[in-house]
Structure 1
Amino acid sequence: MSIAATSVIVHTPDGLYIRIEPVAPHTFHIRANRTGTFREPAPLARLGIVATPASPALRETEEAGDDLRVVTETAALRINRLSGEMSLSGIDGKPLTRFTRPPLVGGQTSGPDGVRDRFEVQFALAKEERLYGLGDHYETPLMKRGYRVDIRLLGRVHAPVPLLLSSEGWALLMDTDREHAFDVGCSEPDRMSVCGSGDELAFYWIAGGNLAELLEKYTLLTGPSALLPIWAYGLTFNCNQQATARDMIEDALKFRREGIPCDMIGLEPTWMDRSFDYDAPVDWHPDRFYIPQWMPEGAHTFMGVLRTMGFKLTLGLYLRDQEGTAAHPDADLQWYDYLKPFVTQGVQGFNLCTRRPVQEQVSTADSPDGAGPDRSILPQSTVLGRVIQEGFAAQTGRRPLICTPVGYTGIQKYAAIWSGGRPKSHLSVLSLGLSGIPHMAADMNLHTAAGIHCGFFQPWSKVNSWAYWRHPLLLDSGLLRLFKMYAKLRYRLLPYIYSAAHVAVRTGLPIARAMPLAYPDDPQAVVLDNQYMFGDDFLVAVFTEQVYLPAGEWIDYWSGKAYSGPAEIAYRTPEQAGGPLFVRAGAIVPMWPDMQYAGQQPAVRLELHLYPGGSREYAFNEDDGATFGYRSGEWATTRIACQEDRRGFSVEIAAPAGSYTGMPENRTWDIVIHCNDKPAAVKVDGEDWRESAGWAGSRKDPPPSSWSYHRKTGTIRLIVQVDAGRLSPARIEVNRSGKAETRHTSVRSQPSRPSGTMRTAGELEKDIEVGLETGNAAKALSALEDWWNIRIARSDAAEDVREHWLAMNGLFVRAAERKGRTLHEIAEEDPRFGSSRQPPDNAEEAYASLAQAVSLIIESNNRQPGKTNEIVRQATDIIRSELDRELSLHAVADRLHLNSSYLSRRFKREIGLSFSDYVLEKKMELAKELLLAGSTVSAAAEHTGFKDTSYFIRVFRKYWGVRPGEMKP
């Protein structure tokens, strides 16, 4: 064993040399071979994908017998010097993963190509461990455990990525540019192995964090992704491969005549006079794209016409032929000179294409000099993307749009990924987002409503004609209307999308975020493949009408109806949409006004859509949208903070921090607040603004210092200007009306109701009880607020307020008795509780007293031994949200990954009832409330999960002592 300045080398008795180099506080670079000579640079560093560390990360080494421990600031790696087995842990000593046997390096194996060197390494998998990544293997679920995944180009796999993220807090990046394979618990359920050809095993081991944090550490290791030009996040259209200049201009005119926003027009590689071979210049096809040589540039050319209409032109290039090609940085890079004339004429991007089917893109044969196989073609597009990006930047100072159908790890630094039409295109998008590639789009299926819905909610959107006719104006009237609506929505959302792209570039968190990324601690969310978060605040479901809403409040974007999560809903997509779309309560969404293309209007005036819901902060990122200035800090962030409570809603908009060329000196915000109530007053910077009717639903500007409420849309609108040099944030305060009829802030639905049905006071009381039983303060307080609003909506007279206050205290008594306690005992523990036990006359004071009581009861219960734990809380949440279904102990235990006997015992001990008795109690209480509210017997049976109405009647009579019909008013 030897210790260098930045690494540790262990030589095992069986002749294996293992080098451990901490390249970051959280990342170790492991290399193992049988020669002791480690060629530099390693494959991914040689390709420019991984940067050499600027300074050593090694803190110390510790020896204990045959073990050596290599320690950094945040992680530790232990290696056995006799066997070479290793384990990874956090700095706190918590084990993350380990080898299951010594690594195999240099073992000989026979194959169709003869005897070759081979490596293999195996890792132990925890029982509930979930693993993600490995590129766009869309025919497997997002969670890869139980599958074998080949890291090579296949007909179904265009972008294999050797990055694996674990829910247990570690990640693995193989350091190779050759084909290899991951067996992720497929052959053996409790272990994962990686094997491939070669005389060296090399990988990066990343420690610590959830999936999003691991992606950020991977981004720090490889460097940031490329930020696309802002127009590239709009709509891209590729013409038919036989298109002429006239056809292309006609395609562009169709977009503008119909008012469909679009930014990019692309040509297939057939635009050239001959095939581009990287060895000689090409020109425009002399017949289809004729340009007189005496005036090759200007507004009179077809490129000039496109610019006049706001379009950007991209050209298709075939990737290099594979035979005899070594895709590495030492290849001849001067071929970009052949592209310069087209860039001078106005071309702003290049679309790399494969001449042959992807499944034929395989590694080259062994080289004749015996030096081993030539370099794999896997990273070819990475090298070509880097050449085009660097050449274009040097020539123009701007970012190009480079997109490629094939890629490997590192491609995200230079290009976006695209693929042809796929049956599960969103899985490719989400899986690449989990593999460190945030910019991926699949060709839009614009012949179905669901395909249009999915296509516009990708990181970038592309309609590809290729050999077909896929222009939106060729659709039937219904689909054309739908396409136009989605295209306009996409363009209005471009500030929101581009701000999320800034986050993706810096942190690796993609624009389209799989549910395990967005909700890693929600067991119901992490298993979902057909829905995802689009940025921070939009939940998109594709090719499904079963939607799961995580905890919190959610608003149906199409209808405005509000839902309480967690809940599963059977969603019926409205006619004007192509799929479910929800916005999170608390969302802060910047929008452009309607535009036909990016930059049509200056970004001086933006809309700011706000959806009240608790406390929330948002960072709005922007730059010049065109150059690489953002890499040197030329960008700005506007901080926006919102706060909601019972008294009202407030928002603070700070002046932008940072600057960039062309940044507006002042920003006008057209603020739209989505709510169901007309406010009593609106203040801006402490000054009362007056109400002005008649313009909230229109596009005309309001009078100065005024606001308006639009009842039909449930929105408040006002316009505020924020100067760039402002020292304190602009503050807008919306005070709610004190009138009883306007107290409700949202309509809440449960999945067992028709969409949008109002919750009853009785149901809310049950939610309060569940919150008190399980220690879920947020649930109890949210239900209490809605219950109180319903009660005082009928009357807020002093005597009624006292009566409602006393009624709720009766519920508190019952909740305490379930825990074997009394309110008097709880009051003795906390003087704050006892001081609030007299019924107030004022509604505000009465509510505050009840809310304080809820918090103190839960605090008191949590101090007691045997308090309800998280497992029971999750079980009761499932029961409460799914009373319209048959609920069995075994089914709920399986969903929580628990033994049913354990859950039964825990449930009985914590709740005081058996699982089945608790389910029956909740179903019967709900049935009673429904019948008292006027529901039919059959509807009450259906909403409580009884398929047989006669059986429901028997159960109801046995439980309540009366028939359901006798309970109806």
Structure 2
Amino acid sequence: MFRIVFKSIFFLFITVSVFAQQNQKKPFYKESFNDGVLPAGWYIPKVGNWDPQWVVTNQPYPGSYQYQQQAPPIASKSRGYHLQYQAGYFTDEDVDKGWVKKNKYPDGYVVSAPINCSDKSSVILRFQHTFRWWDYHPNNTAGLMLGVSTDSIHWQQWDMRHEVKSATDMFTPLKEEINISRWAAGQPKVFLRFYWKGLQAWYWMVDDIELCEADKKDIGVVRLISPSESGNQFSRHDELQIRIRNNGTDAVAEKFIVTAWNSDKLIATKEIDAAAKIMASGEERDIAFTDIDLSKSPVHKLSFDVKLSGDENPSNNTIRQTVSSKASVLGKLERWSKLTNGIELQSGSTKLKVLFYKNDIFRIWLTPDGEFSDPAGSDIIIDQKVYNPSLKITEDAKNIFISSTACKLQIQKSPILFSLSDNKGKNIWTEKSPLTFGAKTVQQLNYHQDEYFYGGGMQNGYFSHKDSLILIEKGGGWDNGGRANPAPFYMSSRGYGALRNTFDAGVYDFTKYMTLTHNENRFDCYYFVGDNLKKILDEYTSVTGRPFMPARWQLSMGDANCYNKKGTTPDVISKIADEYIKHDMPRGWILPNDGYGCGYTKLDSTVTELHKRGFYTGLWTENGVEKIATEVGTYGTRICKLDVAWVGPGYKYALDGCRAAYEGIEKNSDARGFVWSVMGWAGTHRYSVVWSGDQKGNWEYIRFHIPTLIGSGLSAQNCATGDVDGIFGGSAKTYVRDLQWKCFTPVFMVMSGWAKKDKQPWVYGEPYTSINRKYLQLKMRLTPYMYTLMHESYQTGTPAVRGLMLEYPNDPVTMGKATQYEYLLGKSFLVAPVYKDTSIRDSIYLPEGKWIDYWDGKLYQGKQWLNGYHAPLEKLPLFVKSGSIIPMYPQMNYDGEKPLDTLSLDIYSDGASSYELYEDDGVTREHRKGIYATTPISAEQKATGLTVNIAAIKGNYKGMLQQRAYSLFVHSNKKPVAVLVNGKICSSWTFDAKDKSGVITINTQSLPVKSDTRIVIQMIKV
């Protein structure tokens, strides 16, 4: 059955379609924006007192308030560079206070260069576009307005939204055909305008603009009216409705045929008798096919075709569209087959693949329409190699089983349900209900009462998510609860991790039932099986990439501000760099142009002079990284800080920005990339420090950052931080307390220019200056310990800042939020920051083992809580695990200030212990070629004394010293009777019973590093 609706519109006709390009009249004007810049003669006027503007880009729409996910950069079938307007990005979370309340709109338009149509008797305008608009407080002239003019002053306009509803996601480009002959034919100058007007959000993408002459006989399909592209509820009696239009200059007065197809099968045919009702030029008709059964599948590949004898332009005769249901549930298994590294399943039109890449890494991949897609490509997953998993595939009447050496995946047949167990038979997870897909894809798992969850990227204020709901999306501001750097990854204490291979936003609900949702109509999840969280992080980073390995100097403090306010960047030398020297302050790098529109001058000489004073120089990047070749290769900058104006609010846009900056540094120098960014995603850890955004320095700021950094590390964001004492507000006390604990994290910086007082460590005077100096100097001394942790993370994904559960997974106290205000730096240090205005620190948990107070040497037994710990302002609660060996370099204020010819070892002996020191040149990328060195160090405590073995160094690197002296600080309450170095009596030692409850200090001569060194401390005469 069918029905026809007549609509008459003359002179203007619009055809929206996705059709084959054949037999079209050759365009006399084309613009596809392939050069990546605004074409010559095009211009973008300023509309208001704000700066949203049309851009030429090949990037997705970056996301914004109430539309956190990105829109793919598909403005046309050809893809690539296109015109894009990002209204929602500019209004973002300020839409109510900054825009609606002030009755402002992020309007903006772009105007073409004049086009000569003087010799054309008819003109057809074609272009492709996608958009998403919002009906939130529009004005009465709102629209996505296409304009045509002959003087660029007076415009004929059409609203290109058609019947597309507010907040509709558009995944297939619309193709427009507009007969503009009335206004353009015979005109020497014709201008085109695309005008975003009177709407608060979200975006408009335009591409492949063409002008050509019209055909006399041309009928085409305009668009599919129903069903919608997604979100449908299919039944046995659905209606299919399309719009056709007479695109020709002549009327149609004869019969023609319209057909409907589903998955290339003819389902309906309709003959239209235009002789009975002539179709005038420009007239459109809606045709509906009723009683169509779409109930048997959640996805349909529909196509419609119109055939008119003598049609001069068959290229617009067909439209194809895939439509899907709002929510479909995976049904029973109909067939399955083996693949090289897994199996393929089918249920109706829905197909799934289960693919094993290793014995402990596998993927479940669902496509509703039978065509597997991977929109993220290699952006998130960079290693899809198959590493010869050992698989055994069996089945019985009700299930299929895939077993590897690490796990066993059970697949129930009716309905399809997955269940995972380890190689010992312990259940890891079981689906509570079948996978649901449509507008969102949902997996629901049964909940184990003893199960804890971690990950989700940087979730400000949180690391343990048991009984919580977390959002995997940009937003929430920068304070507690904000999501500055989310990641679609989580780990469970049951022995697995899961990564959704997507850039679409999600929600992970870890409450009564685990409900894991992402806003996409496909399911693509990698699973990692391991008996501990470290193993899972290792697997996760084996496919997403390891955390980047920073240079040594990158572990020192950074300083940022707009030091170019007067247009003289060299001012930073005397006003800031020399002040660091004057105050004897450790330092590492500086950003002299941090701020919107700050810019820089005389960068080359500034970089040179700053380097003489111990600073590397970086740049705050506002609008792109196109100048990076000159800035890095010629001027010598080595850091890029990417703010939201460049990286966008996250997802693929941000990841691409980080990669471009990181690779820009490495392609133009021998240095390691060093990037700071917000709005990261899974994979950002390969390139960038992630920081938590712009906040106010206060006690609450310190409090919520402790679990924030722990949680970031549990998503492999090894270098995560927040600005010291925030960028706003702050005080002398909060500055000291924040700096103290951040000296026991890999990276950090201060950012001035936003608060009444700047943020350098001397601004509050004494005693604060001396306290800050003390901790910065200690951080510099601990560089070899921190650098070795960086290499461990680079090799395994294990972060330097560790929640206690990483090292003590069998201690239930460490699993939840009870220990959220303390952490481990590696295995040796336990840090318990003071986050209140008090000199007493309560609720410090010491896990199993013996712990020594770093400041006074007091010994504590583990598995206990400390309350009432005395922590005056100058004292950070800091404990060392008994048995630790901690390497230190000579005291210096910047990396490279002094030679590393003395290695200090802080030894807390307890039975047998060992440590392996990692070193390389500290600057270049040679370590990636295996050019580095390690030094095994061991200590064995017996009743007779202590033996320390420093083994011969393994490996080599440029600048490696052939000899070095050793200084040992051995914590002991007993004075030795003798010290021997390589069998010879050593007289260069002292014992101080009052220093940290007793310290033996031993200084050796310079010794060859390629030979073993053995130091024996005798406690009794031999």
Q: How does 1:374-393 map to 2 (within 5 A)?
A: 377-393=650-666
What SS does the aligned partner of 2:814 have?
Answer: coil
Supply the distance in 2 between the matched residues of 1:721 and 1:34 (Cα, whole angstroms). Answer: 71
Please report how far the alpha carbon of residue 348 of structure 1 lies from its aligned counterpart in structure 2 after TM superposition: 0.9
What SS does the aligned partner of 1:253 have?
Answer: helix
Deviations 1:851-890 (A, max 9, x none): xxxxxxxxxxxxxxxxxxxxxxxxxxxxxxxxxxxxxxxx
User: Retained in 1: the 8 A contact 2:564–2:592?
Assistant: no
- Within the alignment, does 1:26 sit opposite 2:360 as a pair? yes
Supply the distance in 2 between the matched residues of 1:50 and 1:239 (Cα, whole angstroms). Answer: 35
Alignment match, 1:196: 518
Q: How does 1:416-427 map to 2 (within 5 A)?
A: 416-419=689-692, 420-421=694-695, 422-423=701-702, 424-427=704-707
Deviations 1:120-154 (A, max 9, x none): 11111211111111122224x32101111111111
User: Retained in 1: the 8 A contact 2:973–2:999?
Assistant: yes
User: Retained in 2: the 8 A contact 1:547–1:571?
Assistant: no
Alignment match, 1:261: 586
Supply the distance in 1 between the matched residues of 2:885 and 2:524 (Cα, whole angstroms). Answer: 44
User: Retained in 1: the 8 A contact 2:850–2:881?
Assistant: yes
Deviations 1:827-874 (A, max 9, x none): xxxxxxxxxxxxxxxxxxxxxxxxxxxxxxxxxxxxxxxxxxxxxxxx
- Within the alignment, does 1:157 sit opposite 2:493 as a pair? no
Supply the distance in 1 between the matched residues of 2:653 and 2:927 (Cα, whole angstroms). Answer: 27
Supply the distance in 1 between the matched residues of 2:421 and 2:358 (Cα, whole angstroms). Answer: 15
Please report how far the alpha carbon of residue 270 of structure 1 lies from its aligned counterpart in structure 2 after TM superposition: 4.1
Alignment match, 1:534: 825
Q: How does 1:610-649 map to 2 (within 5 A)?
A: 610-649=907-946
- Within the alignment, does 1:594 sit opposite 2:926 as a pair? no
Please report how far the alpha carbon of residue 192 of structure 1 lies from its aligned counterpart in structure 2 after TM superposition: 0.7
Deviations 1:362-416 (A, max 9, x none): 6xxxxxxxxxxxxxx4132221221222222121121132111220010011111
Supply the distance in 2 between the matched residues of 1:58 and 1:27 (Cα, whole angstroms). Answer: 12
Change (3 A) 1:524 1:48: closer
Alignment match, 1:437: 717
Q: How does 1:103-502 map to 2 (within 5 A)?
A: 103-106=435-438, 117-139=439-461, 141-154=462-475, 155=477, 156-185=482-511, 189=512, 191-240=513-562, 243=565, 244-249=568-573, 250-270=575-595, 284-285=599-600, 289=601, 291=602, 297=604, 301-318=605-622, 336-355=626-645, 377-419=650-692, 420-421=694-695, 422-423=701-702, 424-445=704-725, 447=732, 448=734, 449-468=736-755, 469-502=758-791
Q: Cα RMSD (Å) of the superposition?
A: 2.3
User: Retained in 1: the 8 A contact 2:964–2:1009?
Assistant: no
Deviations 1:77-128 (A, max 9, x none): 111233221111222322211111111123xxxxxxxxxx321111112111
What SS does the aligned partner of 1:485 have?
Answer: helix
Please report how far the alpha carbon of residue 337 of structure 1 lies from its aligned counterpart in structure 2 after TM superposition: 4.9
Amino acid at match of 1:258: H
- Within the alignment, does 1:719 sit opposite 2:1003 as a pair? yes
Q: Tell me which of 796, 799, 810 is aligned to 1:521.
A: 810
Supply the distance in 1 between the matched residues of 2:473 and 2:563 (Cα, whole angstroms). Answer: 28
User: Retained in 2: the 8 A contact 1:452–1:578?
Assistant: no
User: Retained in 2: the 8 A contact 1:158–1:405?
Assistant: yes
Change (3 A) 1:201 1:430: same
Amino acid at match of 1:2: S
- Within the alignment, does 1:733 sit opposite 2:1016 as a pair? yes
Please report how far the alpha carbon of residue 707 of structure 1 lies from its aligned counterpart in structure 2 after TM superposition: 2.4
Alignment match, 2:79: none
Amino acid at match of 2:1004: V
User: Retained in 2: the 8 A contact 1:224–1:506?
Assistant: yes
- Within the alignment, does 1:559 sit opposite 2:891 as a pair? no
Amino acid at match of 1:145: K
Deviations 1:945-967 (A, max 9, x none): xxxxxxxxxxxxxxxxxxxxxxx
Higher helix residue share:
1
Supply the distance in 2 between the matched residues of 1:336 and 1:240 (Cα, whole angstroms). Answer: 21
Change (3 A) 1:60 1:43: farther
Supply the distance in 1 between the matched residues of 2:857 and 2:351 (Cα, whole angstroms). Answer: 63
Change (3 A) 1:85 1:220: same
Please report how far the alpha carbon of residue 716 of structure 1 lies from its aligned counterpart in structure 2 after TM superposition: 1.6
Amino acid at match of 1:534: L
Matched residues, number? 653
Supply the distance in 2 between the matched residues of 1:319 and 1:132 (Cα, whole angstroms). Answer: 34
Supply the distance in 1 between the matched residues of 2:417 and 2:382 (Cα, whole angstroms). Answer: 25
Amino acid at match of 1:248: V
Please report how far the alpha carbon of residue 58 of structure 1 lies from its aligned counterpart in structure 2 after TM superposition: 5.1
Deviations 1:445-497 (A, max 9, x none): 27323222222222212111142311222113121111111111111111111
Q: Tell me which of 537, 541, 548 is aligned to 2:845.
A: 548
> TM-score under structure 2 normalisation?
0.62
What SS does the aligned partner of 1:613 have?
Answer: coil
Higher strand residue share:
2
Supply the distance in 2 between the matched residues of 1:120 and 1:56 (Cα, whole angstroms). Answer: 30
Change (3 A) 1:341 1:223: closer
What SS does the aligned partner of 2:715 have?
Answer: coil
Please report how far the alpha carbon of residue 509 of structure 1 lies from its aligned counterpart in structure 2 after TM superposition: 1.1
Change (3 A) 1:475 1:193: same
> Identity over aligned residues, as a percent?
26
Supply the distance in 1 between the matched residues of 2:748 and 2:557 (Cα, whole angstroms). Answer: 5
Supply the distance in 1 between the matched residues of 2:536 and 2:737 (Cα, whole angstroms). Answer: 32
Please report how far the alpha carbon of residue 54 of structure 1 lies from its aligned counterpart in structure 2 after TM superposition: 4.6
Alignment match, 2:991: 709
- Within the alignment, does 1:101 sit opposite 2:433 as a pair? yes
Please report how far the alpha carbon of residue 20 of structure 1 lies from its aligned counterpart in structure 2 after TM superposition: 0.4
Supply the distance in 1 between the matched residues of 2:1005 and 2:922 (Cα, whole angstroms). Answer: 22
User: Retained in 1: the 8 A contact 2:596–2:622?
Assistant: no
Amino acid at match of 2:423: I
Please report how far the alpha carbon of residue 267 of structure 1 lies from its aligned counterpart in structure 2 after TM superposition: 3.0
What SS does the aligned partner of 1:345 have?
Answer: coil
Please report how far the alpha carbon of residue 272 of structure 1 lies from its aligned counterpart in structure 2 after TM superposition: 5.8
User: Retained in 1: the 8 A contact 2:801–2:826?
Assistant: yes
Structure 1: gaps of 5 or more residues:
107-116, 274-283, 321-334, 363-376, 691-705, 740-969
Structure 2: gaps of 5 or more residues:
1-335, 696-700, 726-730, 836-840
Change (3 A) 1:151 1:315: same
Change (3 A) 1:389 1:82: same
Change (3 A) 1:466 1:578: farther
Q: How does 1:471-870 map to 2 (within 5 A)?
A: 471-527=760-816, 528-542=819-833, 543=835, 544-575=841-872, 577-690=874-987, 706-713=988-995, 714-720=998-1004, 726=1010, 729-737=1012-1020
> TM-score under structure 1 normalisation?
0.65
User: Retained in 2: the 8 A contact 1:265–1:314?
Assistant: yes
What SS does the aligned partner of 2:792 have?
Answer: helix
Alignment match, 1:92: 424
Please report how far the alpha carbon of residue 28 of structure 1 lies from its aligned counterpart in structure 2 after TM superposition: 0.7
Please report how far the alpha carbon of residue 610 of structure 1 lies from its aligned counterpart in structure 2 after TM superposition: 0.7
What SS does the aligned partner of 2:590 have?
Answer: strand
Supply the distance in 1 between the matched residues of 2:775 and 2:790 (Cα, whole angstroms). Answer: 20
Change (3 A) 1:456 1:686: same
Please report how far the alpha carbon of residue 637 of structure 1 lies from its aligned counterpart in structure 2 after TM superposition: 1.2
Please report how far the alpha carbon of residue 580 of structure 1 lies from its aligned counterpart in structure 2 after TM superposition: 0.4
User: Retained in 2: the 8 A contact 1:656–1:724?
Assistant: no
Please report how far the alpha carbon of residue 71 of structure 1 lies from its aligned counterpart in structure 2 after TM superposition: 2.2
